[in-house]
Structure 1
Amino acid sequence: MTARVLLLGGTGDALAIARTLGPQHVYSLAGLGRVPADLACVVRVGGFGGAEGLARFLADEAVSLVFDATHPYAARISANAARACLAAQVPYWALRRAPWRAQAGDDWRMVSGWAGVVEAIAPFARPLFTLGREPLEHLNEVPEQQHWTVRCLEAHPGHARARIIDARGPFTAEGERALFTESRIDVVVSKNSGGAATEAKLAVARGMGLPVVMMQRPPLPDAQREFTSAQEVIGALDDYIKRSSNA
């Protein structure tokens, strides 16, 4: 049997995994951010049409394993992938990156959605949003007493009461400290993404005594095998591909 892996990606960890895959495998991106041009595997951009569309793709393309390395907050994609794998009788593996944990000196305010974010930042004047694109949908709701700094992957024309920064990690403590100081940030708004690439903002917030409004992770479906690092995944996929090829 020839193994064919569908890697659902869009994160730095997923890209590291994709760089180890050969031309028979597929790396799938939702379409946000830059499309890598240095991969040996097939790169597919765009949705599948929900769980049903993904199940058809798995059958049509003879996919033997789906690996979910999407963002920890991509709950809909993960749910559709799990349902599609169940319908197509294809194994579903996933990278479940460990969340950050509050440390001594941290002032985290936990919220579960956008309404909670708005309520939590109400006392502050200059929040920094590191939630991706979601704040861009609310630029016309910026209160008069606030000025937002929004960091996301894609360029945006901006707004009279918001500064939009398109940047991709990893970010350094020095760079974060300079941004906080220049923009006079008084609260950081973050997803609990885990990983080292964007963790510096938390250390800088801790050192500067700034609160962090932390959005809780959504529930994700169980996988037949779960991993916590890209290196674990690379080893497991290599073993799977070799075993499948020798079967």
Structure 2
Amino acid sequence: MKRVLLLGGTGDALAIARGLSATHVYSLAGLARVPDDLACAVRVGGFGGVDGLVAYLGAERIGLVVDATHPYAAQMSRHAREACAIANVPLWAVRRPEWQAQTGDDWREARDWRGVVERIAEFHRPLFTLGREPLAHLDEIPASQHWTIRCLDAHPGNARATIVDARGPFTPEGERALFDAARIDVVISKNSGGRATEAKLAVARERGMPVVMLARPELPDADRAFDDASSARDALTQLNHET
């Protein structure tokens, strides 16, 4: 049986982790909620770059790495690819498909933070669903705007920003209530894919509201890639039966 290192922090990763035995390791960067009901070992914290990950793979006798990090955690995915190549350890990855624009959607792509700011300049009540990044820009909010920022953890706002700490999955009903209460007129989102946070897009569509969509970073290739957690979990089960 190959010892698996699962790089996680997403719902997909947690679904895979629930099927792992005590032999294997579920690794979290430290920003996500740490589960306490898993059979596998849970490791929290960074590895110290590529060199640190290579050392960890050797010390812990890891035989397979599964990258199920967030689609925007590009640096961790690149480190995993480089470390696995150096250590000669296979790398599997869960690459969740992007959302696709539907009839009625008004999506406006941005490549980076500067592009986001440019695309929301005409609006007054933006909803940011980019995680923590907007928190670094609270002192840059124009006088014409009030930001609503949704992220995982509580954080103080200011006179021009309201911080909402919440975790998905989100429902259309809940999103409508938030949009109404905060008087949202534009949504800023990562193209994360999956169902847990998709409701905001449906509500924006039904209201004819624009969505500024932050483009995905380019991710490295993997030895084997899966579209969803269930496919990766099934492949791991088969692998354990074969080894």
The equivalent residue for 1:154 is 153
What one-letter code is carried by the residue in structure 2 that aligns with 1:151? R
What one-letter code is carried by the residue in structure 1 that aligns with 2:7? L
What one-letter code is carried by the residue in structure 2 that aligns with 1:196? R
* 3-state DSSP of counterpart to 2:104: coil
Alpha-carbon distance in structure 1 between the residues aligned to 2:241 and 2:125: 53
What one-letter code is carried by the residue in structure 2 that aligns with 1:102? A
**For residues 162-206 of structure 1, what are the alpha-carbon distances to aligned partners after superposition, in whole Å with 9 as ceiling and x for unaligned?**
110111100000000110011000000000000000000000000
* 3-state DSSP of counterpart to 2:149: strand
* 3-state DSSP of counterpart to 1:119: helix
Q: Number of residues paired by the alignment? A: 243
Q: Percent sequence identity over matched residues?
A: 67
Whether the aligned pair in 2 keeps the contact of 1:33 and 1:154 (CA below 8 Å) is: no
Alpha-carbon distance in structure 1 between the residues aligned to 2:241 and 2:55: 26
1:72-151 map, 5 Å: 72-151=71-150
1:45-56 map, 5 Å: 45-56=44-55
The equivalent residue for 2:212 is 213
What one-letter code is carried by the residue in structure 1 that aligns with 2:228? S
**For residues 27-84 of structure 1, what are the alpha-carbon distances to aligned partners after superposition, in whole Å with 9 as ceiling and x for unaligned?**
0000002111101111000000111110110001000000000000000000000000
1:180-191 map, 5 Å: 180-191=179-190
The equivalent residue for 1:23 is 22
* Structure 2: runs of 5+ lacking an equivalent: none
The equivalent residue for 2:3 is 4
TM-score of the pair, normalised by structure 1: 0.97
* 3-state DSSP of counterpart to 1:125: coil
Q: Cα distance, 1:101 vs. partner?
A: 0.2
What one-letter code is carried by the residue in structure 2 that aligns with 1:134? E
* Structure 1: runs of 5+ lacking an equivalent: none
* 3-state DSSP of counterpart to 1:78: helix
What one-letter code is carried by the residue in structure 2 that aligns with 1:73? Y
1:160-175 map, 5 Å: 160-175=159-174
4+ residue runs over 6 A deviation: none
Whether the aligned pair in 2 keeps the contact of 1:11 and 1:70 (CA below 8 Å) is: yes
1:204-243 map, 5 Å: 204-243=203-242
TM-score of the pair, normalised by structure 2: 0.99
Alpha-carbon distance in structure 2 between the residues aligned to 1:16 and 1:10: 11
Alpha-carbon distance in structure 2 between the residues aligned to 1:147 and 1:170: 25
Alpha-carbon distance in structure 2 between the residues aligned to 1:160 and 1:24: 50
What one-letter code is carried by the residue in structure 2 that aligns with 1:230? A
32-41 or 211-220, larger mean C-alpha shift: 32-41
The equivalent residue for 2:31 is 32
Q: Cα distance, 1:158 vs. partner?
A: 1.7
**For residues 126-175 of structure 1, what are the alpha-carbon distances to aligned partners after superposition, in whole Å with 9 as ceiling and x for unaligned?**
00000000000111111111000000011112222111011110000000
Q: Cα distance, 1:20 vs. partner?
A: 0.6
The equivalent residue for 2:61 is 62
The Cα RMSD (Å) is 0.6
What one-letter code is carried by the residue in structure 2 that aligns with 1:80? H
* 3-state DSSP of counterpart to 1:59: helix
